Amino acid sequence: MKLKISFPAESVKSPILSEIILKTGVLVSIVSSHVDSTGGEIILEVIDKDSDIIKGELKARGIKVTLLRTFIDRDENECVDCGACISVCPAQVFSFADDWSLAMDTQKCIRCGICIDMCSHQALSIKGADSE
């Protein structure tokens, strides 16, 4: 399960994530992050059964937590299987199938949006709603 955690500026210098991992013993994988002095966002991968523990600890410390339920979507009518998205995707969501059509593993998506910007046919988007 992927969670997006959003830090306000006043929380950036605190080792919140480290404290939670040590306290709970729940391991997380940092999929992507952008944190600076103004705040930040981190996308975590957490084993489903442990997600409520992590969410509860983060929320108790005033950190906004969003469950990422939606990932990249491809409009098959617009996609021309050019592969431009393959070269820019840091999570390796895209690849060519044996028949050279575009294949996707959406569960790898980290929602960085790079592929959406790269697609000249506007065939890629993020649709749906996440939940807190």
Q: For residue range 55-101, list pLDDT tens digits in order.
A: 999 999 989 998 887 778 899 999 999 999 999 998 899 999 999 99
132 pLDDT band, cuts 50/70/90, is low
The token pair at 64 is 């906004």
Q: Answer whether 21's CB lies under 8 Å from 13's CB.
A: no
Residue 107, in any domain of the structure = yes
The β-bridge relationship of strands 72-74 and 94-96 is: unpaired
Q: Answer whether 43's CB lies under 8 Å from 68's CB.
A: yes
Residue 60, in any domain of the structure = yes
Cα–Cα distance, 37 to 104 (Å, whole number): 35
Global confidence as pTM = 0.70
Residue 131, in any domain of the structure = no
Please give the DSSP secondary-structure letter assigned to residue 119: -
- 11 with 26, same domain? yes
Question: How many domains are there within the chain?
Answer: 2
**Of 68, 87, 118, which residue constitutes the final position of a domain?**
68
Q: Which domain holds residue 100?
A: 72-126
* Residue-level length of the chain: 132
- 39 with 56, same domain? yes
- 43 with 83, same domain? no
Residues 6+ apart with CB under 8 A from 92: 105, 108
User: How distant is the alpha carbon of residue 126 from its chain centre?
Assistant: 11
112 pLDDT band, cuts 50/70/90, is confident
Residue 132, in any domain of the structure = no
Q: Answer whether 10's CB lies under 8 Å from 35's CB.
A: no
CATH number at residue 90: 3.30.70.20
